């Protein structure tokens, strides 16, 4: 393709007007930053960016308002996780002792934050609303092992989730009203 | 190569009369009668069997091809029609000459309704779909929907049919009926009564197949509850089959309880090694760990069942103390780790240096046909005395054989063991005592527990022990070779009735362990100069040519369910 170039006019060939125009833009930004304090950039890490709602940060585990670990170790997140960042150790025959009618809970729950791609599939697939992608986006550690978050760490970072449905509590109350509970523990 | 000598144990039943029926417009010829699952007597073919033959899926919960029909779940309801009869008892014909079909005004359960000539079965009509949706809705009224904590999730019929016929939300607003959960039904079974859909498969299995009338349903209506006989544990040796049969998660295995979700398990076709029956199994493993055995259907061997003792006999595969190193030992003075190449060379040198007749081999009837065959090649060259260890205990009438070795017949056919297993062990012990036997190869047995004590083993010049788990013999051996469990290699067994069945590799061997067949191949090649075959296929086909009883068999021809050979009497 042949690009047709227009011949420069005399005014354009002087160059100086264009230079002056450019300096005007530079000066405008310079004075806005320096004298009026309107910076475009941020003083990271002293200043932290506040993420918008719906941002997909690091996935953490949550407890409900009664301090029960909501995860029941169904391992659907482990199954759905595209980079295989999640690893759950099921509890074995003992289940989750002392958790009433929720017979099962994870013995160990690990997320490798180096592998995690923050896709949010784990949150989407979770039938118990036990894992959420929170607002943390800058995860650091001094070695790889440190970046594998275990159950304890995930729960402490996740905090409390105000569960509106409380499925298991509702089930237990319903059963209690029918005089079936307490459940005989499996030997 | 001669024609396969393989025959089924029973001759094919005489041809039965066939009927023509139409399933969703597809006309097929169906036998008029089919054998009853329990007695084997011919009983009229049912609509669900005709649909199965027509490869049409009819959803069902209570029906099972190997159990008596109960007809209580109503999931298999189908619509059907029969040829219309005129007042003259002749079929009414359509204008185009085809018989006119009088559609039944009511549906019928496909599992318990016999077929009749010219019958048409409709499984895809809107009416049938509505009935399935209705039945499913009823079943879900009191179902707890605790799929996230249920071990059946992933292989649950209720889940599967909910995808096909379920509603997104429940119309039922009343509280669900709650029943006992985590009921300790027996030593190996946990029952969750809320999940039970009352199909009675477990009751029928334990009463009619296992012969232990232990289970029943108590209470009425919505309060129907599966229960064991009061004060009696559900503890026969076949209880875990009810876990497989249970279409939902009501009966679950204590052993597999909360161990792993089923969708992670890689399934490998294998054979149970706990007795001479050789039940066909599926090994469920994930990341080199075996989680469970499940029976695999093979009507010539185990139908669809297996015993609990065989099913739970897998934990040793993942034992912590597995032998993982090839070791050259100086008994009593420690030893060192060596490589397979060094071991093969040194053992071959020692065997070649040994005078003919001074070598003995104790193989195990838990080894594969191929390994025993390679050992027999070695024995032939070295003129060695060979035997394997018998394991006779009490069997039962259903599946458990009195012979607890999976491959006694293989040991006999390859010539490793005499007709009476173990009758040469005494001779070997005497030979070592007298000093005529100087070299002993032990594969997969602890000979110190079978008449060749530590004092005798100390007299040997060379003791080679190939084992999976450490024992007294490996402690005293000059060479310790780590072996593989059957789940870690491929091979074949010959079961008590002469069925040659192959099994596949489910997990990787531990450490340096390697299939015995591979090492034996190298040893045999070094000792008698025969290059042999490195692949299991080549090895099996070679063995099939050499051993008369196996003539005509090929590795590929064994298929998934094996071939029965004629055992020499």
Q: What is the pLDDT of residues B200-254, one digit of tens each?
A: 999 999 999 999 999 999 999 889 999 998 888 899 999 999 999 999 999 999 9
- Facing B149 at nearest CB: one of A72, A175, A177: A72
As a whole number of angstroms, the distance between CA B557 and CA B359 comes to 36
Question: What is the dotted CATH code of the domain comprising B18-124?
Answer: 3.10.20.740
Q: How distant is the Cα of B246 from the closest Cα of chain A, in angstroms?
A: 19
Nearest to B180 by CA among B234, B243, B226, B138: B226
Give whole-number Cα distances, B386 to B407, B418, B431, in Å: 16, 8, 12
**In chain B, whose CA is at the least distance from the CA of A91?**
B258
pLDDT in tens, B412-430: 999 999 999 989 999 999 9
Q: Which residue's entry shows tokens 């010829």?
A: B29
Give chain A positions within 8 Å (CB) of B149: 72-74, 102-104
Residue B385: enclosing H or E segment and its boundaries?
strand B385-388
As a whole number of angstroms, the distance between CA B281 and CA B302 comes to 10
Give chain B positions within 8 Å (CB) of A172: none
**Ramachandran angles phi, psi of A101, nearest 5°:** -85, -5
pLDDT in tens, A26-82: 999 999 988 888 888 888 889 888 899 999 999 999 999 989 999 999 999 999 999
Strands (E) located in A38-176:
59-61, 86-89, 108-112, 131-133, 148-149
As a whole number of angstroms, the distance between CA B327 and CA B349 comes to 17
Q: How distant is the Cα of A125 from the closest Cα of chain B, in angstroms?
A: 11
Chain B positions with Cβ closer than 8 Å to A? 144, 147-149, 153, 175-184, 190, 254-255, 257-261, 263-264
Mean pLDDT of B387-401: 93
Give chain B positions within 8 Å (CB) of A75: 260-261, 264
Confidence (pLDDT) at B11: 56
Beta bridge partners of B83: B101
Question: What is the dotted CATH code of the domain comprising B171-318?
Answer: 3.30.70.20
As a whole number of angstroms, the distance between CA B522 and CA B517 comes to 9
Grade residue B2 by pLDDT with cuts at 50, 70 and 90: very low
- Facing A72 at nearest CB: one of B148, B179, B255: B148
- Facing A103 at nearest CB: one of B149, B180, B255: B149
As a whole number of angstroms, the distance between CA A41 and CA B379 comes to 83
Q: How distant is the Cα of A91 from the closest Cα of chain B, in angstroms?
A: 6
Mean pLDDT of B80-86: 93
Contact A90 B260 (CB under 8 A): yes
- Facing A178 at nearest CB: one of B178, B254, B258: B178
B326-564 fold:
Rossmann fold (3.40.50)
Confidence (pLDDT) at B569: 74
Give chain B positions within 8 Å (CB) of A74: 147-149, 153, 261
Q: CB count, 10 Å around CB of B450?
A: 20
Chain A positions with Cβ closer than 8 Å to B? 72-76, 78-79, 90-95, 101-104, 127-128, 171, 174-175, 177-178, 180-181, 183-187
**Ramachandran angles phi, psi of A30, nearest 5°:** -60, -50
The yes/no answer to whether this complex scores an ipTM above 0.90 is no
Beta bridge partners of A149: A111
Give chain B positions within 8 Å (CB) of A175: 178
Confidence (pLDDT) at A40: 81
**Ramachandran angles phi, psi of B188, nearest 5°:** -125, 0
Confidence (pLDDT) at A176: 87
Residue pair A111/A154 in contact by the 8 Å Cβ criterion: yes
| Local structure of A159: helix, strand or coil | coil
Q: CB count, 10 Å around CB of A36?
A: 8
Interstrand relation of B462-467 and B479-482 (parallel, antiparallel or unpaired): parallel
The string of DSSP codes covering B47-99 is HHHHHHHTT-----SS--TTS-----S-TTEEEEEEE-B-TTSSB-B-TTSSB
Nearest to A57 by CA among A21, A93, A6, A111: A111
Residue B181 CB burial class (10 angstroms; 0-12, 13-18, ≥19): buried
**Ramachandran angles phi, psi of B226, nearest 5°:** -75, 140
For chains A and B, CB pairs below 8 A equal 73
- In this predicted structure, the answer to whether residue B5 has a pLDDT above a threshold of 50 is no
Confidence (pLDDT) at B330: 86
| Local structure of B526: helix, strand or coil | helix
pLDDT in tens, B7-29: 445 555 566 789 999 999 999 99
Confidence (pLDDT) at B14: 62
Residue B481: enclosing H or E segment and its boundaries?
strand B479-482
Give chain A positions within 8 Å (CB) of B258: 73, 90-95, 103-104
Mean pLDDT of B454-458: 91
Domain boundaries, chain B: 18-124, 171-318, 326-564
Confidence (pLDDT) at B276: 94
**In chain A, whose CA is at the least distance from the CA of B187?**
A187
**In chain A, whose CA is at the least distance from the CA of B175?**
A174
Give chain A positions within 8 Å (CB) of B263: 79
Q: CB count, 10 Å around CB of B27?
A: 11
pLDDT in tens, A82-121: 999 999 999 999 888 777 788 999 999 999 999 999 999 9
- Facing A92 at nearest CB: one of B181, B190, B259: B259
Name residues whose C-beta falls within 8 Å of residue A179's C-beta, 6 or more positions apart in sequence: none
The interaxial angle of helices B369-382 and B536-546, nearest 10 deg, is: 60
- In this predicted structure, the answer to whether residue A182 has a pLDDT above a threshold of 70 is no
Greater pLDDT, A100 or B408: B408
- Facing A102 at nearest CB: one of B149, B153, B177: B149
- In this predicted structure, the answer to whether residue B4 has a pLDDT above a threshold of 60 is no
Whole-structure pTM value: 0.88
Ramachandran category for residue B89: left, alpha or beta (phi over 0 → left; psi -120 to 50 → alpha): left
What average pLDDT is seen over chain B? 92
Give chain B positions within 8 Å (CB) of A185: 182
Q: How distant is the Cα of B307 from the closest Cα of chain A, in angstroms?
A: 21
Reported residue count of chain A is 187
Among A6-10, A85-89, A171-175, B39-43, the range of highest mean pLDDT: A85-89
Greater pLDDT, B15 or B344: B344
As a whole number of angstroms, the distance between CA A94 and CA A6 comes to 84
Portion of chain B with pLDDT greater than 70, in percent: 97
Name residues whose C-beta falls within 8 Å of residue B460's C-beta, 6 or more positions apart in sequence: B432, B437, B438, B439, B440, B478
Q: How distant is the Cα of B437 from the closest Cα of chain A, in angstroms?
A: 50
Q: Looking at B88-97, B156-165, B403-412, which range is the least confident one?
A: B88-97
Whether omega for the bond prior to residue B99 falls within 30 degrees of 0, making it cis, is no
**Ramachandran angles phi, psi of A87, nearest 5°:** -140, 120
- Facing A90 at nearest CB: one of B148, B183, B259: B259
Which pairs from B533-539 meet CB under 8 Å and 24+ separation?
A: B536/B370, B536/B490, B536/B491, B539/B370, B539/B373, B539/B374
pLDDT in tens, B492-541: 999 999 999 999 999 999 999 999 999 999 999 999 888 888 899 999 99
Q: How distant is the Cα of A38 from the closest Cα of chain B, in angstroms?
A: 52
Contact B148 A177 (CB under 8 A): no
Give chain B positions within 8 Å (CB) of A186: 182, 184, 190, 254, 257
Best mutation target, B258, B260, B291, to test chain A (most A CBs within 10 A) = B258
**In chain B, whose CA is at the least distance from the CA of A129?**
B148
Q: How many helices (H) and strands (E) are present in chain B, helices listed first?
A: 14, 26
Q: Classify the C-alpha dihedral B61-B66-B67-B71 as positive or negative.
A: positive
Mean pLDDT of B283-309: 95
**In chain B, whose CA is at the least distance from the CA of A170?**
B175
């Amino acid at each position: 393709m042949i690009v047709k170039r227009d011949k420069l006019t005399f005014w354009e060939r002087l160059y100086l007007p264009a230079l002056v125009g450019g300096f005007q833009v530079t000066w405008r930004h310079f004075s806005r930053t320096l004298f009026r304090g309107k910076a475009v950039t941020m003083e990271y890490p002293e200043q932290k960016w506040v993420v918008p709602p719906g941002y997909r940060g690091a996935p953490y585990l949550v407890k409900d308002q009664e301090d029960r670990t909501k995860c029941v170790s169904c391992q659907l997140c482990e199954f759905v996780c595209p980079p295989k960042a999640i690893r759950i150790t099921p509890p074995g025959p003992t289940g989750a002792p002392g958790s009433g009618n929720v017979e099962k809970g994870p013995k160990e729950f690990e997320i490798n934050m180096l592998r995690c791609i923050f896709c949010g599939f784990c949150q989407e697939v979770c039938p118990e609303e036990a894992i959420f992608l929170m607002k943390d986006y800058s995860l650091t550690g001094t070695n790889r092992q440190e970046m594998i978050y275990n159950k304890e760490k995930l729960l402490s970072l996740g905090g409390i989730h105000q569960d509106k449905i409380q499925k298991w509590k509702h089930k237990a109350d319903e059963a209690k009203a029918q005089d079936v509970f307490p459940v005989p523990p499996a030997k | 190569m001669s024609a396969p000598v393989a025959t089924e144990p029973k001759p094919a039943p005489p041809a039965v009369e066939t009927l023509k029926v139409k399933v969703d417009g597809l006309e097929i010829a169906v036998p008029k009668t089919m054998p009853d699952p329990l007695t084997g007597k011919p009983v009229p073919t049912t609509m669900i069997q005709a649909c199965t033959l027509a490869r049409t899926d009819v959803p069902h919960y209570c029906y099972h091809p190997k159990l008596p029909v109960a007809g209580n779940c109503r999931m298999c309801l189908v619509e059907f029609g029969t040829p219309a009869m005129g007042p003259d008892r002749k079929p009414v014909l359509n204008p185009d000459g085809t018989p006119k079909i009088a559609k039944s005004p009511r549906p019928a359960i496909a599992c318990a309704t016999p077929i009749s000539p010219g019958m048409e079965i409709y499984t895809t009509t809107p009416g049938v779909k509505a009935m399935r949706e209705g039945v499913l809705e009823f079943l879900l009224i009191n179902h707890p929907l605790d799929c996230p904590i249920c071990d059946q999730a992933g292989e649950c019929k209720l889940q599967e049919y909910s995808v096909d016929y379920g509603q997104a939300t429940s119309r039922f607003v009343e509280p669900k009926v709650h029943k006992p959960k985590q009921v300790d039904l027996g030593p190996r079974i946990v029952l969750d009564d809320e999940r039970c859909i009352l199909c009675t498969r477990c009751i029928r299995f334990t009463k009619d197949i296992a012969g232990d009338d232990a289970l029943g349903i108590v209470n009425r209506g919505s309060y129907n509850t599966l229960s064991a006989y009061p004060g009696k544990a559900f503890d026969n040796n076949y209880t875990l089959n009810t876990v497989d049969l249970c279409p939902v998660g009501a009966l679950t295995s204590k052993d597999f309880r909360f161990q792993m979700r089923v969708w992670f398990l890689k399934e490998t076709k294998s054979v149970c090694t706990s007795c001479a029956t050789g039940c066909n199994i599926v090994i469920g493993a994930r990341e080199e760990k075996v989680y469970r055995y499940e029976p695999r259907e093979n009507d010539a061997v185990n139908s669809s069942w297996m015993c609990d003792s065989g099913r739970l006999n897998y934990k040793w595969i993942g034992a912590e103390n597995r032998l993982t190193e090839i070791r050259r030992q100086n008994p009593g003075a420690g030893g060192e780790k060596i490589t397979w190449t060094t071991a093969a060379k040194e053992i071959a040198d020692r065997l070649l240096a040994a005078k003919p007749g001074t070598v003995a081999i104790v193989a195990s009837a838990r080894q594969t046909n191929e390994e025993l065959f390679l050992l027999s090649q070695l024995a032939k060259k070295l003129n060695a005395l060979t035997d394997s260890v018998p394991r006779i205990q009490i069997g039962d009438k259903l599946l458990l054989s009195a012979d607890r070795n999976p491959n006694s017949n293989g040991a006999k056919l390859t010539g490793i063991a005499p007709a009476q297993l173990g009758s040469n062990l005494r001779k070997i012990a005497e030979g070592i005592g007298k000093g005529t036997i100087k070299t002993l190869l032990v594969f997969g047995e602890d000979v110190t527990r079978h008449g060749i004590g530590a004092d005798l083993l100390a007299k040997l010049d060379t003791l080679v022990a190939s084992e999976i788990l450490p024992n007294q013999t490996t402690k005293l051996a000059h060479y310790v070779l780590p072996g593989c469990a059957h789940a870690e290699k491929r091979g074949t067994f010959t079961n008590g009735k002469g069925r040659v069945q192959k099994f596949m590799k489910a997990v990787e061997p531990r450490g340096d362990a390697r299939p015995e067949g591979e090492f034996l191949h190298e040893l045999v090649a070094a000792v008698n100069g025969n290059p042999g075959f490195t692949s299991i296929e080549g090895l099996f086909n070679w063995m099939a040519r050499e051993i008369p009883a196996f003539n005509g068999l090929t590795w590929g021809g064994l298929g998934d369910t094996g071939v029965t050979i004629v055992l020499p009497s």
